Amino acid sequence: MKHLVRLASRWLLGLLPLCLLPLCLLSLSLTGCSLPQVKAEDRLFLPLALEFLGAYQLPKQSFQGTELGGLSGLTSDPQLNQLYAISDDRSSFSPARFYTVQVDTAQFGAESGAESGAESGAQSSPAVSLKAVTTLTDRTGNPYPAGSLDPEGIALSPRRSLFIASEGDSEAGVAPFIDEFDLQSGAWRSSLPIPQRYLPNSEKTLGVQNNRGFESLAISAISSDAREPFRLFAAVEASLQQDLPADASAQAQPSSLRFLHYLVGETQTLLLSEHLYPLEPPPPGSENLGLSDLLVLDQSGHFLSLERSFGSSGFGGKIFQLATGGATDIAPIEQLSAGSEGIMPIQKRLLLDLNDLGIPLDNFEGLSFGAQLPDGSRSLVLVSDDNFNPLQVTEFLLFRLKPA
């Protein structure tokens, strides 16, 4: 344990504010990095921008005996140049599973996958193709029974395993979890410790809200060595029951979400800290707003986050850059219902409002790096969750990450 604590201390040094580090971090393989003249507060953030490259829809289909749908989270496998997408099917349509997805960035901008699939009967599109589906199995080695989980987040670890987050089902007494699964077989490996305050009670005064639990996962590793510890970050989609504002007038203020920081070792896992993530107030007419996914940008506490909304005007989504350096550790605070006075939250900067793309939007919930583009820059991929609704689509959006 002492050895892991010493490792944790070393890793925490990686969360120093960016103002103490060179602005020209090359962790993203961005081109043309320079030292711009910026305000003091701008030094918290990396100089980033997003360039929209295109959209592609997968046709409605069955794939290897499963119904494609509910793609709610993405994670990148740079070794094999592919993505893994978790379906949020609660083992209702097919057993709980993840898909292996190939994205050909050069094909974006071609005809719609939905149109080409409908005409040819193909099970994949030139730009996005399904390569495999892997069933998740529980501690007993069996597929998860219907209603026993609600998988939403996914992240690939250096030990070639997948961590998957389930929101659970508080109405049915099903607890949320963050568990590790074998990448090849989908077999259960281990569980992360979840603090008691996240576990819902029957009175609905404690724990995650129903269908608003662990939605986001991201992993940060400094080595591909499976023996080295790595950091895992998770966040809830909405406030815990005990963190909901006691004053109804505060509903118009940003919601207080919890952002968890784990250190995962070979034999031990520590929850190092929790931080307050301020969710944007809901847009006018929105009925549903939540944090959908996280992505690590570097080892210095910078992330991207995806927030999505739904209401009378349809779907919406925003991508933010986050800076966690200096954020207060709120793990000792049992409830935030009295407000966040005196707490330094995670800092946010809007990177892109998806409504500004000028295209119809669906329920975008997954966010991941994609393949390196021909100019050497990194690509970013979003995916929408069609909720197994015939009126919705499974759509991939492609972006270029570039210097601002």
> Closest Cα to residue 213, out of 162, 269, 157, 153?
153
| pLDDT at 289 exceeding the cut of 90 | no
Q: What is the rounded distance in angstroms from the CA atom of residue 178 to the CA atom of residue 194?
A: 8
Q: What is the CA radius of gyration of the chain?
A: 20
Residue 162: both structure tokens together: 């997948």
| Beta carbons within 8 Å of 273's beta carbon, 6+ residues apart | 260, 261, 329, 331
> Closest Cα to residue 258, out of 245, 270, 273?
273
- By mean pLDDT, which of 123-127, 157-161, 270-274 is the weakest? 123-127
Q: What is the rounded distance in angstroms from the CA atom of residue 62 to the CA atom of residue 71?
A: 14
Question: Do residues 134 and 108 lie in contact, with contact meaning Cβ atoms separated by under 8 Å?
Answer: no
Q: What is the rounded distance in angstroms from the CA atom of residue 249 to the CA atom of residue 264?
A: 40
Question: Do residues 204 and 283 lie in contact, with contact meaning Cβ atoms separated by under 8 Å?
Answer: no
- What is residue 27's predicted lDDT score, i.e. its pLDDT? 44
Q: Which fold has domain 2-403?
A: Tachylectin-2; Chain A (2.115.10)
Q: What DSSP character marks residue 63?
A: E
On average, the pLDDT of the chain sits at 87
- What is residue 198's predicted lDDT score, i.e. its pLDDT? 97
> Closest Cα to residue 16, out of 301, 311, 341?
301
- What is residue 38's predicted lDDT score, i.e. its pLDDT? 56
Predicted confidence band of residue 3 (pLDDT cuts 50, 70, 90): very low
DSSP secondary structure letters along 301-370: SEEEEEEEEEETTEEEEEEEEEE-TT----TT-S--TT--TT--PPEEEEEEEGGGG-S----EEEEEEE
| pLDDT at 216 exceeding the cut of 60 | yes
- By mean pLDDT, which of 5-19, 57-71, 149-163 is the weakest? 5-19
Q: What is the pTM of this model?
A: 0.87
- By mean pLDDT, which of 21-30, 141-150, 286-295 is the weakest? 21-30
CA angle centred on 263, ends 210 and 89, rounded to 5°: 35
Question: Do residues 166 and 179 lie in contact, with contact meaning Cβ atoms separated by under 8 Å?
Answer: yes
- What is residue 203's predicted lDDT score, i.e. its pLDDT? 92
Give whole-number Cα distances, 124 to 40, 109, 114, 118, 308, in Å. 48, 16, 9, 11, 26
What is the average per-residue pLDDT within 205-223? 95
Predicted confidence band of residue 319 (pLDDT cuts 50, 70, 90): very high
pLDDT tens-digit readout, 329-388: 999 999 998 888 899 999 999 999 999 999 999 999 999 999 999 999 999 999 999 999
| Beta carbons within 8 Å of 79's beta carbon, 6+ residues apart | none
Cβ neighbours around 210 below 10 Å, total? 18
What is the average per-residue pLDDT within 171-194? 97
Strand order from edge to edge, sheet including 128-135: 71-77, 82-87, 97-103, 128-135
- By mean pLDDT, which of 89-93, 124-128, 148-152, 178-182 is the weakest? 124-128
**Beta pairing partners, 395:** 57
- What is residue 252's predicted lDDT score, i.e. its pLDDT? 56
Cβ neighbours around 145 below 10 Å, total? 12
Give whole-number Cα distances, 258 to 34, 191, 231, 343, in Å. 34, 19, 16, 12
| Beta carbons within 8 Å of 60's beta carbon, 6+ residues apart | 68, 69, 114, 390, 394
Question: Do residues 60 and 68 lie in contact, with contact meaning Cβ atoms separated by under 8 Å?
Answer: yes
- Residue 266 φ/ψ region, left for φ over 0, alpha for ψ in the -120 to 50 degree band, beta for the rest: alpha
Give whole-number Cα distances, 345 to 12, 283, 358, in Å. 17, 21, 32
- CA neighbours closer than 13 Å in the CB half-sphere of residue 302: 22
